[in-house]
Amino acid sequence: MLTPEQRARQIIDEQLQAAGWHIFDSGKQNFSAGAGIAIREFQTSTGPADYALFVDRKLVGIIEAKPEGTSLTAVAEQTVRYLTSTTKFVQRAADQLPFGYEANGDEVRFCDWRDPQPRSRNVFSFHRPETLRAWLADGDTTLRRRLQSLPALTTTGLRDCQVEAIRNLEESFKHDRPRALIQMATGSGKTFTAVSLIYRLIKFAGAKRILFLVDRGNLGRQTLTEFQQYVTPDDGRKFTDLYNVQNLTSNRLDSVSKVTITTIQRLYSMLRGEAEFEAGNEEESSFESAAAMATVRPKEVAYNPAIPPETYDFVVIDECHRSIYNVWQQVLEYFDAHLIGLTATPAKQTFGFFNRNLVMEYSHERAVVDGVNVGSDIYLLSTVVSQQGATVEKGLPVQHVERLTRKKRWEALDDDLPYAATQLDRSVTNPNQIRTVIREFRDVLFTRLFPGRSIVPKTLIFAKSDDHADRIVDIVREEFGKGNDFCKKITYGTTGEKADDLIKRFRNSFEPRVAVTVDMISTGTDIRPLECLLFMRDVRSRVYFDQMKGRGTRIISTSDLQNVTEDATAKTHFVLVDAVGVTHSEKKDAATTERIKGLSFKDLLKAVSYGNTEPEHLESLAKRLARLHQQLKPAEQALVSQQAHGATVQELAGRLYDAVDPVKVEDVATQLAAAAGEPTFTQGPEDEEIPVEPAPEYFRQAEEQLTTAAVAPFDNPELRSILEKLHAQKDLVIDHLSPDEVLVSEFGERFSPEQAAAKLARQQVDKFRAFIEEHNAEILALQVLHNQPWRRRELTHRQLRDLAEALKLESPDLTPAHLWDAYERLDKARVRSSVSSTGSKNLLTNLINLVQFALERTDVLEPFALTVEQRYQQWLHQQQLAGRLFTEPQRQWLDMMKDHITTSLTVETEDFGYTPFEDHGGFGRARALFGDELLPVVKELNEVLAA
């Protein structure tokens, strides 16, 4: 039995060997074995180091090894002792060795002591010798040190929000925050911002390689286009003329590429060492199976020497809504890299994953105010059937359609068939309901939605399913009296034309005018000419709904819009037509485990294929397959067997049930124990044989063996596809009989720039007030301001700066300038503005008056500079009345001291050695002008002006 320390050393040895290190005991080393040598128990002046690391015969680092389970956070001090200890007979990379590791077999921590603020961090495994060699070749200019001195940003061609995002992110890098989140509204240029930043990281920070992760394949192609079109601001050449960019379509990395674009699905496949990955698996967004993804265990990754953790310096995660937080989190955390998230719609998990380091918050409301997005009008359209459902009376003939074969037949109903609105286009389709919605949409299109127009605006219709989409397409063509090119279905099930080609046509050509989709164009896809969204499906995810709405918010130049829609004057807004109550239905932030029991058959299959082997899921799938087996015809059974290596649906179900059957598990555990030579029976008191329960390890092996065998067939996407189609083979009832009529057809909410500005201002003010109330006991500046006026003199500029940093960390829009604008917009009558240089809204000292106004301790919000100026004039007047007159040179110095208090809260004689005082003679000149009165005057001004 190994001790915890021995187990840890064994694992550490394996980790080092996997990373390319040759391991020797002290005194038995052979430096000819390779570039990287690790020597156990290497002697130093303060004792033996657990492992000493040599690269090219030169001592470069130390590993401090601890037993399994040991917390490593406080071990770095021991590592430092060995890093600074002297050694005999060896060459050293530096007097203090640069690379320190702590490891316990489960965890590895690393610190590069050349960094400006050396700090240990978790890494997946040890770095390769070649990596440490390359880092040493950089001298002391580590990546983190280079991030401290990036040149000023060239703002030409960048929007204000993009400038703010890049500057804030680079400030985050200076503080060595490993994860950062950029929230920017759809259409505000997140990808362009990322490309601009990546260019700076490569050129000025010396980033070796950067990984750009996308949600699905077509977004990767969009991202590649952004890189290809990006003109560098200082060089004038295209990005791809200077640096190689690879959009992965195979599992082979280009060794010379500076930027790699890929889906996280393909990346996981590559980390697993798979030679190929089916491109079709990259085209589905994680939103489409959100419930299934919520149940899937994280994808576990192992060290891959072909793609070591140090391969990338930065990982940009585009559209990082929630797909990364359960299944893919370990894939992201594999790399020893800064993680940068981009999204328009963060969920709660997003903030948690990025350590609440939200460096940019640019909401849709703010984007509308700035003219970066367009606002929206909501048009409510509901019908009797869509609100109340309907009933088909018994005895009447209705049409049945087999979902798989599309065969149709007519049958009379034996009983009444009532169906609710929620069953529409799931188990029952009412063509009259679809037609009523489309006809009303057609009738109001040019009279109420887009008056004066004659060309159908580019319109995107969201359908519930592929079958629903087909019916909508047919009815749209009929009701508008147009041909096939007028309206197209763009889904993953699209046949004939490629979906990417259809999207390009929809974006750039006159036709199609209308596209019908289920999910494919719901997130990320850029179609700027869109002016109308028609929701014929409800959406319960807040994040997903915001993403879908985002398809309509993008701005477009009038000339580009008129290239595809000739009679459009300008895109000033988009119209969201709500035919299902989507704008009023309750939205949830993310899928929760409470939804697991309600997983669809498709989602259960997907969950199992992604590695979820929870007993309740396996049992549920087994039961559904068993029911399906009873319904299948021989030809259909044969289809399954062809893809399941001869197994029937019943056998697939049986294997799943065996995996969760305690009796079957115990039988297999007993067989495994017997095969290992363990006794399976013991003698009882009367020589009867009594079964021996296998040891727990055999039960674990049995469960793993049975589970692996049960779920292995579902790795085959063809099998899953056939099972999904067969499961959906129940007849779809077509209700041609129930009529429908319009209940509501009217405008609902309007979202204009003015409304957006008011909403944004209210959000900022509410966040500010909530922050004050939540943190008044822990932030010193708030403690002082809460207890004013008697503690006001305790307030310092440093405390105000701490408050400002805490506010910005809470939300990037909680800056003095943004808060000032918000209050001014909401209550202009009570806000006084100042245009003087010292009255800038950005002044840190304005936080004093902002907090007091938020706490309702003042009736008027005025710049701190104005407050100080009023007090100053009052003080001068009092001095004059008291017979205390100042000369013109003295007044000049008093004015300078007043201005300094305005910006820094206090003035001290030490400040006289700096600008502007130094330019006027410094402390000596002040002393000559005021004599013994200098210190009393300084003290008096501090008390009167800032109190």
751-773 per-position pLDDT tens digit: 677 777 788 888 889 988 988 88
Nearest to 31 by CA among 50, 52, 14, 10: 52
84, 45 contact by CB (below 8 A)? no
Residue 769 domain-assigned? yes
Burial of 679 (0-12, 13-18, 19+ CB in 10 A): exposed
Tell me which long-range contacts 482-486 makes (C-beta under 8 A, separation of at least 24): 482/513, 485/511, 485/512, 486/456, 486/511, 486/512, 486/513, 486/514
217, 279 contact by CB (below 8 A)? yes
Chosen domain end from 369, 395, 411: 369
Nearest to 76 by CA among 113, 46, 47: 113
Domain that holds residue 856: 752-862
- Same domain (yes/no): 563, 455: yes
* pLDDT the model gives residue 791: 45
DSSP 8-state assignment for residue 426: T
Nearest to 699 by CA among 713, 678, 683, 684: 678
The tens digit of pLDDT for each residue in 336-383 reads 999 999 988 887 778 888 888 999 989 888 888 888 888 889 999 999
C-alpha–C-alpha distance, residues 605 and 624, integer Å: 11
Residue 876 domain-assigned? yes
Instruction: Tell me the H-state helices in 378-465.
Output: 384-388, 431-444
Q: How confident is the model at residue 298 (pLDDT cuts 50, 70, 90)?
A: low
Give pTM, 2 decimals. Answer: 0.73
802, 795 contact by CB (below 8 A)? no
- Same domain (yes/no): 712, 784: no
Q: What share of the chain is helix, strand, coil (3-state, %, to 5)?
A: 45, 15, 35
The tens digit of pLDDT for each residue in 542-577 reads 777 888 888 888 999 999 999 999 999 999 999 999
State both tokens at 660.
């969760």
The tens digit of pLDDT for each residue in 32-45 reads 999 999 999 999 99
Q: Is the dihedral angle over the CA atoms 63, 65, 68, 71 positive or is it negative?
A: negative
- At residue 647, what is the residue type? A
More confident residue, 927 or 833: 927
* pLDDT the model gives residue 295: 46
- Same domain (yes/no): 123, 51: yes
Chosen domain end from 140, 166, 184: 140
pLDDT for residue 131 is more than 70 = yes
537, 578 contact by CB (below 8 A)? no
Task: Report the range of poorest mean pLDDT among 150-159, 392-401, 549-558.
Answer: 392-401
pLDDT for residue 911 is more than 80 = yes
pLDDT for residue 910 is more than 60 = yes
* pLDDT the model gives residue 806: 86
- Same domain (yes/no): 98, 123: yes
pLDDT for residue 688 is more than 80 = no
Q: How confident is the model at residue 142 (pLDDT cuts 50, 70, 90)?
A: very high
* pLDDT the model gives residue 270: 92
Specify the number of domains making up the chain: 6
Residue 89 domain-assigned? yes
The percent of residues above 90 in pLDDT, for the chain, comes to: 42
Chosen domain end from 681, 704, 734: 734
Residue 891 domain-assigned? yes
- Same domain (yes/no): 241, 329: yes
Q: How confident is the model at residue 100 (pLDDT cuts 50, 70, 90)?
A: very high
331, 782 contact by CB (below 8 A)? no
Q: How confident is the model at residue 495 (pLDDT cuts 50, 70, 90)?
A: low
CA trace torsion 439, 445, 448, 450 (10° rounding): 170
* pLDDT the model gives residue 809: 78
* pLDDT the model gives residue 729: 58
Q: How confident is the model at residue 616 (pLDDT cuts 50, 70, 90)?
A: confident
Instruction: Report the pLDDT averaged over residues 899-912.
Output: 89
357, 177 contact by CB (below 8 A)? yes
DSSP result, 797-845? HHHHHHHHHHHHHH-TT-SHHHHHHHHHHH-GGGB----SGGG-TT-TT
Residue 145 domain-assigned? no
- Same domain (yes/no): 455, 573: yes
- Same domain (yes/no): 570, 626: no
- Same domain (yes/no): 830, 855: yes
* pLDDT the model gives residue 288: 46
Q: How confident is the model at residue 788 (pLDDT cuts 50, 70, 90)?
A: low
Residue 351 domain-assigned? yes
Residue 410 domain-assigned? no
C-alpha–C-alpha distance, residues 298 and 28, integer Å: 42
The residue behind tokens 């907090």 is 851
State both tokens at 712.
């292995």
C-alpha–C-alpha distance, residues 898 and 834, integer Å: 16
* pLDDT the model gives residue 11: 94
C-alpha–C-alpha distance, residues 117 and 140, integer Å: 13
pLDDT for residue 837 is more than 60 = no
In this structure, what CATH number is given to the domain that contains residue 482? 3.40.50.300
pLDDT for residue 322 is more than 60 = no
198, 316 contact by CB (below 8 A)? yes
489, 512 contact by CB (below 8 A)? no
Contacts of 627 (CB under 8 A, 6+ apart): none
Q: How confident is the model at residue 102 (pLDDT cuts 50, 70, 90)?
A: very high
Instruction: Report the pLDDT averaged over residues 829-850.
Output: 73
* pLDDT the model gives residue 440: 95
Nearest to 56 by CA among 134, 123, 141: 134
Contacts of 71 (CB under 8 A, 6+ apart): none
- Same domain (yes/no): 324, 182: yes
In Å, what is the CA distance from 841 to each residue of 161, 444, 833, 850, 853?
18, 47, 8, 11, 15
Cα 590 off chain centre by: 13
- Same domain (yes/no): 181, 233: yes
* pLDDT the model gives residue 321: 54
What is the overall mean pLDDT for the chain? 86
- Same domain (yes/no): 59, 169: no
The tens digit of pLDDT for each residue in 636-653 reads 888 889 888 899 988 888
More confident residue, 560 or 804: 560
Q: How confident is the model at residue 10 (pLDDT cuts 50, 70, 90)?
A: very high
* pLDDT the model gives residue 54: 97
DSSP result, 889-938? HHHHHHHHHHHHHHHHS---GGGGGSTTTGGGTHHHHHHHHHGGGHHHHH
* pLDDT the model gives residue 824: 87
Cβ count near 376 (within 10 Å): 21
**Most trustworthy range by pLDDT among 414-423, 493-502, 625-634, 763-772:** 763-772
The tens digit of pLDDT for each residue in 176-226 reads 999 999 999 888 999 999 999 999 999 999 999 999 998 788 888 889 999
- Same domain (yes/no): 87, 230: no
The phi-psi region of residue 47 (left if phi > 0; otherwise alpha if psi is between -120 and 50; otherwise beta) is left
Ramachandran angles phi, psi of 296, nearest 5°: -85, 135
* pLDDT the model gives residue 351: 82
pLDDT for residue 940 is more than 60 = yes
pLDDT for residue 4 is more than 70 = yes
Ramachandran angles phi, psi of 348, nearest 5°: -60, -40
Residue 254 domain-assigned? yes
* pLDDT the model gives residue 290: 47
Q: How confident is the model at residue 928 (pLDDT cuts 50, 70, 90)?
A: very high
In this structure, what CATH number is given to the domain that contains residue 37? 3.90.1570.30
